[in-house]
Amino acid sequence: MMNDKLKGHLSIAAAYTIFGLNLVFCKDIANSETVSPYVLFTLRAIGASILFWFLSLFTPREKVVRGDYWKIAVASMVGLFVPQMTFLMAITMTSAIDTAIIGTLGPIFTMFFAFFFLGEPITGKKAGGVALSFAGILFLIFNSVQSGGAASTSPWGVILLLVNSLSFSLYLGLFRPLISKYSVITFMKWSFLFSLVVSLPVSAKGLVTTDFAAIPVNVRWEIGYLILFATFFAYFLIPYGQKFIRPTLVSMYSYVQPIIAAVVSIWAGVDTLSWQKVLASALVVGGVVLVSRSRAAATVGSKG
């Protein structure tokens, strides 16, 4: 059991480390203005679909129950299409650090979904933590700027990121039984295929009109990282880790993102650290820690 838990923790930690670096790379891709969010998502879906389906050729064939196909399709919308699309749209309107700060709300949203779907009570600590974190988000919104620039954030971008976090938290909390039912490769090859089918109608024109030859070399490498690591490897590691640890603990690893994003983006000169960002981050993380210390939080899920 300890070995399984360790596998789960290491897998999720690696995935969120990848996501932390991805925040900075996606911001750089967005600033290049060479690929639209719709096209970028479809490229991710194409790449991941090819890789997962190719990998499935070398693994034992697993039959999916007919009634589970629509469930996997819904899971792909909630866990892939909506989170990735809103993220890629929001990154053009937010700084990398602000994106990471808002991402730390995931554990709180997961707690709410545990209340609705698993009947977990909302304690005083949970309520206090939620209030504290949302105070941080409101502070960030009211101190956001509308002008362009590497370190600027718009309120609309914050809203998109909240939708992103809500959707992915719902995915973690609601679909764990379905994810555990099948191998990671089987689940993800169908999930990305469904996401690809949905994305093609909205990105078809962009795929045809995008001048791929004009994309700078460094941006091509960043897109490659996005497809191979932040999509294929990360989305392999998350469902794998979910098999061994609770959804709440999975979402808690979102704390890794602000640290990595802040260090890399400030070092690269694509973002700045202000006292407003520090205060907002402290409020958000403080609220999440308060929620995580609630006694009821320890009962979410069947494994820890």
- Extents of the domains making up the chain: 2-299
Intervals of the chain under pLDDT 70: 1-2, 96-97, 100, 114, 118-120, 122, 126, 137-138, 140-152, 247-249, 251-252, 255-259, 261-263, 265-266, 268-273, 288, 291-304
pTM, entire model: 0.78
Distance CA 292, CA 145 (A): 31
Give the type of residue at 266.
I
Q: Which of 1, 3, 5, 2 is nearest to 244 (CA)?
A: 5
Q: Which of 103, 99, 96 is nearest to 31 (CA)?
A: 96
pLDDT value, residue 173:
75
pLDDT value, residue 23:
79
Distance CA 178, CA 295 (A): 27
- b/e burial code for range 183-193 (CB count within 10 A of at least 16 → b): ebbbbbbbbbb
CA 51, 176, 196 angle in degrees (round to 5)? Answer: 35
Alpha helices in 33-64, H assignment, sequence order = 37-56
pLDDT value, residue 295:
54
Tokens linked to 66: 């007919």
pLDDT value, residue 297:
43
pLDDT value, residue 223:
95
Distance CA 152, CA 158 (A): 11
Q: Which helix (H) or strand (E) holds 90?
A: helix 82-90
Q: Which of 82, 234, 97 is nearest to 169 (CA)?
A: 82
CA 213, 218, 224 angle in degrees (round to 5)? Answer: 80
Q: Residue length, the chain?
A: 304
Q: Which of 77, 45, 86 is nearest to 231 (CA)?
A: 45
Query: Is the separation of the CB atoms in 98 and 27 below 8 Å?
Result: no
Q: Which of 284, 304, 298 is nearest to 111 (CA)?
A: 298
Neighbours of 6 (CB within 10 A): 12
Distance CA 183, CA 164 (A): 25
Give the type of residue at 20.
G
